[in-house]
Amino acid sequence: MPRFSVRWMVAVLLIAVVGGSFFFCEYLIYFPTILKCGWPESSHARAGGEGIDGRSADSSVRAMVLSDTHLLGAVGGHWFDKLRREWQMERAFQTALWLLRPEIVFILGDIFDEGKWSSQKHWEDDVRRFHRMFRHTTDTELVVLVGNHDIGFHYEMDWFKLQRFEKVFNASSTRIVTKKGVNFLLVNSVALHGDGCPICQSVEKELIKLSRELNCSLQNSQTGSAVMDSCEGSQLYPPTPPIMLQHYPLYRVSDASCSGQDAAPPEERHLLFREKYDVLSKEASQRLLQWFKPRLILSGHTHSGCEVLHDNKYPEISVPSFSWRNRNNPSFILASVSPSSYSLSKCFLPEESTVIGVYCSAGACMLLLFLAHCMWMKGLLQCLSLCLLGKHKSL
């Protein structure tokens, strides 16, 4: 075989290995992984195909829930770490939107990693990158909650940081989002410290108001058109207990009872949680349960998955981080929610170790190809040398 043909063949093989590995790891791998996921069928409690407010049982909301994206900032984020993790989240999110087509997406706080101290210039850059990564069509509504890395822990947060966050996402950090008769209660859990700070007082006042309006809505549905005097002027919501979403989990001692492939590592599950830092305080947790009696709580913050049942009747799901920076196997929740029921399923993203393994295998193949080429060339040179030497002797 001519020498140049061998070189071209080796070059083509090297390009195929490099290009194929890159295309698979950076684009293709997300499709077969997310194609395994699907929307759960919502089970309905009432006969006759109708929900609490008379809506058809098949009019459930398809909600995608993820948490703790932690977009790296200018101070602590290495450029390659930032590039790698943000590309992973962007491809995972865009692939999920294209394949699953959720009606609404919730991100449960800690959108940014350095929002608690970033300058205005760095904040604007982080926001620009967020909107590029999590772009979506008008068919999908994106709802963002506030986390401690967005505005700081309780002792770091102030009105400027909170209002800066609310201005970017054009919404109050504590409110109710209603879709197809389902109430989604968004809670600014960073402000539930219970020490009477100005932001804490404002958030608790708003929560009490929302609790009253939800209770009035339930009472109004039971009494018909008559509105109680205490509910005059209240905004009415669909008469159904809310789905409560927040960044901090409700109080629990530890993750000792958590299990599953996305739970905290075994050596970390028995570490005791600190109130008002890892989880909400007992008092704040009980107040939320008493005020709203939610049928489901979804939270983030711990970066690991967990299922907890509070007071034997209030289920809480902790949603793992969406970023490779925080765990090897990120995931998100798919929820089919109707006014009378809900069903959940978990969707895992590609594992970072799998991608690293593919790249390492591709590197090993390239090295073997290069060594084989060198050995072949060396053998060819030796053969030519012997032939030339033989001709010289014959002369």
pLDDT tens by residue, 240-259: 999 999 999 999 999 999 99
**Measured distance CA(60)–CA(103) in Å, rounded:** 10
- 3 versus 272: the higher-pLDDT residue is 272
Please give the span between the terminal C-alpha atoms of the chain, in angstroms, as a whole number.
28
**pLDDT-based confidence at residue 49 (cuts at 50, 70, 90):** very low
- Containing structural domain, residue 258: 35-41+61-221+233-355
Residue 337 lies in a domain: yes
Residue 364 lies in a domain: no
**pLDDT-based confidence at residue 75 (cuts at 50, 70, 90):** confident
In this prediction the pTM is 0.87
Residue 96 has pLDDT above 60, yes or no: yes
Average pLDDT over residues 357-381: 74
Residue 153 lies in a domain: yes
Instruction: Return the CATH number at 72.
Output: 3.60.21.10
What is the total count of domains within the chain? 1
Side-chain-facing half-sphere of 165: CA atoms under 13 Å: 28
Side-chain-facing half-sphere of 351: CA atoms under 13 Å: 8
**pLDDT-based confidence at residue 364 (cuts at 50, 70, 90):** confident
Closest CA to 25 of 346, 360, 261, 333: 360
Q: Of 189-203, 217-231, 348-362, which range is least confident?
A: 217-231
Residue 374 lies in a domain: no
The pLDDT of residue 23 is: 85
Residue 212 lies in a domain: yes
According to DSSP, the β-strands at 306-310 and 243-246 are: unpaired
- Phi, psi (degrees; rounded to nearest 5) at 184: -105, 115
Residue 366 lies in a domain: no
- Phi, psi (degrees; rounded to nearest 5) at 37: -85, 160
Residue 75 lies in a domain: yes
Q: What percent of the chain has pLDDT over 90?
A: 64
Question: Which long-range contacts link 365-372 to residues 24+ away (Cβ below 8 Å)?
Answer: 365/17, 366/14, 366/17, 366/18, 369/10, 369/13, 369/14, 369/17, 370/10, 370/14
